[in-house]
Amino acid sequence: MHRRACLQTRWRWHGPKASFRFWANKVVSMKNQTDDFMSDPYLPWADLAFRDNPYPWYERLQREAPVYRISEREFVVSKYSDYVEFAKHPAMSMEEPNWVKPHPWHVFKESVLFYDPPRQTLLRRHFNKWFTPKMVAEWAKHTKALVSDALDNIAQDGIVEAHHTICVVPTHVTMCRIFDIPEDDIEGVIENGLRIVMAQSPASTKAQLDDAVEGFKYLFDRCNAFVAEKRRNPGNGLADALIEAQARGELSEAEVVQAMVNFFFSGAPNPAYVLASTLEHFTREPELFDLYKADRESRQAMINEFLRLYPPEMSFTRYNKAAVTIRGTVIPENSVIRFMTAAVNRDPDVFEDPNTFDHTRSMRESQMLSFGIGTHSCAGQLISRVEIEVILSAIAERYSRVELAGSPAVQHDDRIRNYLTLPLRFS
């Protein structure tokens, strides 16, 4: 039996053999975390067991403290019905109150990650038109060709480091082609993307915050260079459309670059995580891969269920501009509320036997929330769904079995899930 390695380390990708070298001297010491982050009875953010499998804690949280007060200004919402009602409540805002301390993600201050409507709506309109069903069908042709090439190049023994080769490369390159920007240094994009997301936890260390600054520098340097080159040599991609919108006075320079960085680093990791989780699930329950191969009509429902079980983003935060009351708990104005996406996706009041895969769930039970809800729901959800289906279907058309060929390595915190390696054998 293979064991998943849950790693709290910095890593670097080395070479075409898809191997990672872990820097032993960069291991994040949990001794640097405060007792609060390790010992909270419901949400021990820094505890490695919690990060590896938080669902037992979520179950207790939902039973005993569905609206949980962590501190004077911090609250957690973990029940499905409350999430649906209050995540899109008019009082909820992306704009941070003055008490929030500076952090690395403030580089996105002029983006949809921090804007509220109407500015958020206007900005999203500029890239939503590039992700309509018709446009996504065209982009999916790129994904299909890319994964076909990747499968063609698998050795005769069928062994492949699937996370990077099958899950990351096709989705990242597809996003680059949407923007019409260079496709090089995929390893650098993924490495620096991991650096920045590891700074989102309440338990992030100073070393992780400093590392995120370096990660953002890489990503912004790349995207600023893309913009400069586009101004010299325009093309026909989404990057060009954003630059043209700036020329018309509709967007600022900062909004153009920040939008590009957002898509550039996130275009692959989220669908790649769902893909890798699904492929690993197939190794545990091979009958599900058989079903996916045989029953095309069930594929969408199966993907929806995998999305429910394996959301890449475990939670998100909002700030309430007015006091709200949830289940009798008064949440004062200008508090931070963490909405627990992964927990609500397994709420037993909504999903029967919530930890079990069941693609035949009722319409109500199939309403997972992995892409969020309301005006700030994921802008890339349609293309992510299509990419997942295209890649899984390409594998199903060629192979009859998916097996582990080694121990997967993952890097999780309380907010983000990531694979580092997924060694598989296709046969």
pTM, 2 dp:
0.92
Q: If you ran DSSP here, which 8-state letter would residue 364 be given?
A: T
Contacts of 138 (CB under 8 A, 6+ apart): none
- Give the residues across from 337 on adjacent strands: 75, 318
What domains appear along the chain, each with residue ranges and CATH number?
A: 5-405+412-420 (1.10.630.10)
Q: What is the token pair recorded at 196?
A: 């920045």
The 3 state secondary structure assigned to 90-125 is: CCEECCCCCCCCCCHHHHHCCCCCCCCCCHHHHHHH
CA-to-CA distance for 253 and 251, rounded, in angstroms? 7
**6: confidence class by pLDDT, cuts 50, 70, 90:** low
Q: Is the pLDDT of residue 29 over 90?
A: no
Query: pLDDT by residue (tens digit) across 266-319?
Result: 999 999 999 999 999 999 999 999 999 999 999 999 999 999 999 999 999 999
Q: What is the pLDDT of residues 359-408, one digit of tens each?
A: 999 887 779 999 999 888 888 999 999 999 999 999 999 999 999 999 99
Query: Cα(7)–Cα(9) distance, rounded to whole angstroms?
Result: 6
Strand order in the sheet with 316-320: 67-69, 74-77, 336-339, 316-320, 92-93
